[in-house]
Amino acid sequence: MHFERKRGNFCISTDPARLDVKAMHAYLSRSYWAAGIPEEIVAKSIQGSLCFGLFDAERQIGLTRVITDKATYAYLCDVYVLEDYQRSGLGQWLMEAVFSHPDLQSLRRFNLVTRDAHGLYAKFGFKPLKDPSRHMEIVRPDIYGANR
């Protein structure tokens, strides 16, 4: 059974069959964090994630992707709402859905990386790293060739 929330003509659903890979690719491939990402990588990424699709009727207008073991850890990524739908509370509603999902209630750690949405995520308890010296990363910003 899939998780769903409805508000008027809008729906948030975790049903993978509803996800529109072409729509997600169209947005993500022009985003600052996944510029140039190939469609096949978008398709592969959703297979290993808990995805919250945001829909206006049947049209996908947003996404939040959570990479998680559903027990102790999650990484929030690929959060977007199409420009025509922004500033209408849908992004906050999408985050509320993520935080109400039953499989994400016992997490010890929930991480994300953002360039410009700190205010949105702070409403849900996200804070700067308490001890950044404990975190390490490998970053390959041009892996998809968008800036080559």
Residue 141 within any structural domain of the chain: no
Q: Answer yes or no: is 47 within a domain.
A: yes
pLDDT score of 146:
56
Residue 145, pLDDT > 90, answer: no
Residue 148 pLDDT grade (very low, low, confident, very high; cuts 50, 70, 90): very low
Domain CATH code at residue 60: 3.40.630.30
Q: Is the pLDDT of residue 117 over 70?
A: yes
Say if 27 falls within a structural domain.
Answer: yes
pLDDT tens per residue, range 99-116 = 999 999 999 999 999 999
Tell me what pLDDT residue 23 has.
Answer: 98
Is the separation of the CB atoms in 94 and 59 below 8 Å? no
pLDDT greater than 60 at residue 123: yes
In a domain, 146, yes or no: no
In order, the DSSP letters of 53-69 are EEEETTEEEEEEEEEE-
In a domain, 142, yes or no: no
**Any idea which residue has 């975190």 for tokens?**
135
Show the domain range for 91. 4-134
Task: With H, G, I as helix, E, B as strand and everything else as coil, classify residue 94.
Answer: helix
Amino acid in position 24: M
Kindly state whether residue 75 falls inside one of the protein's structural domains. Answer: yes
- The sheet carrying 59-68 orders its strands as 4-7, 10-13, 50-56, 59-68, 73-81, 109-112
- Strand segments, DSSP code E, in the chain are 4-7, 10-13, 50-56, 59-68, 73-81, 109-112
Q: Would you say residue 28 lies in a domain?
A: yes
In this predicted model, what pLDDT tens digit does every residue of 38-65 receive, in sequence order? 999 999 999 999 999 999 999 999 999 9
- The encoded tokens of residue 98 equal 């993520």
Residue 141: its pLDDT value, please?
80
pLDDT in tens, 70-104: 999 999 999 999 999 999 999 999 999 999 999 99
Tokens found for residue 4: 């769903």
Our measurement of the distance from residue 144's CA atom to the centroid of its chain's CA atoms, rounded to an integer in Å, reads 19
Distance CA 125, CA 118 (A): 10
- Separation between Cα atoms, residue 66 and residue 110, nearest integer Å: 10
Q: Is residue 142 predicted with pLDDT exceeding 90?
A: no
Per the structure, the count of domains in the chain is 1
Per the domain annotation, does 144 fall within a domain?
Answer: no
- The tens digit of pLDDT for each residue in 2-27 reads 999 999 999 999 999 999 999 999 99
- Given the structure tokens 């978008």, which residue do they identify? 42
